Amino acid sequence: MPDISTIAVFCVATLGLLVVPGPAVLYVVTRSVTQGRAAGLLSVLGVHTGSLVHIGAAALGISALLAASATAFTVVKYVGVAYLLWLGVRKLMRRGEGEEAVEMTVQSKRRLFWQGFVVNTLNPKTAIFFLAFLPQFCDPAAGPVGPQILLLGAFWLVLGVISDGAYAMLSSALAGRVRGSARARRRLDVGSGVVYLGLAAWLTTAKA
């Protein structure tokens, strides 16, 4: 297993990466701004449940297969693009007339969670990131690499939930005052739709 000093360096490097807003942070912030703190935090949980899939895949070597297979990479990429396009168009087409403040029903909570999960799981760049980043802190002389990747992934996951959760709390608090206005909610919907479409465009640039 990695020693304490290696884990400490890994955690510092991870925090440096997490505090810089990336696609996952943009997704979480968009949810938090448009639908509130609960939606943002549920999205964080969904996104990082998707991270578990990537961490497990990196430990098993599946991400290496994804990186090596152009066909598999392209299929996953464009499924993710299509999903983000659907989210973006849905937001842009939404009409806010007569809407009340968002009520978090059981169904909508599940939908928010699973949307975050799908968005992160279907991002092949995330899979390649974990495959490239986590093994850098593994020591083959210390034992099998797979369990070391899982351990480092657990640290990354905890730090990721804390960091993205802070983004969700802060952005929802800042946006709370404007969500009471129907016109402002509509503008937030349009803004979030543009963000989703932008993320879809960004994902099309991914290369194995």
Check: pTM over 0.85? Answer yes or no.
no
Is residue 71 predicted with pLDDT exceeding 90?
Answer: no
Q: Locate tokens 């983000």: which residue?
A: 84
Is residue 177 predicted with pLDDT exceeding 80?
Answer: no
pLDDT value of residue 163: 93
The average confidence (pLDDT) of the chain is: 78
Coil, helix or strand at residue 178: coil
pLDDT band at 189 (very low <50, low <70, confident <90, very high): low
pLDDT value of residue 73: 64
pLDDT value of residue 47: 94
Q: How far apart are CA 5 and CA 206, in angstroms?
A: 33
Q: What are phi and psi of 50, to 5 degrees?
A: -65, -35
Please check whether residue 28 is in contact with residue 45, taking contact to mean a CB–CB distance below 8 angstroms: no
Is residue 18 predicted with pLDDT exceeding 50?
Answer: yes
Tell me the pLDDT tens digit for each residue of 88-139: 787 677 665 444 444 444 448 888 899 999 988 888 778 877 877 887 788 7
From the list 12, 76, 30, the residue with the least C-alpha distance to 189 is 30
pLDDT value of residue 40: 92
Q: How far apart are CA 156 and CA 54, in angstroms?
A: 12
pLDDT value of residue 41: 94
| Mean pLDDT, range 71-90, rounded to an integer | 73
- DSSP structure class, residue 73: H
Tell me the pLDDT tens digit for each residue of 47-59: 999 999 999 988 8
pLDDT value of residue 97: 45
Q: Locate tokens 């351990």: which residue?
A: 151
Q: How far apart are CA 180 and CA 189, in angstroms?
A: 13
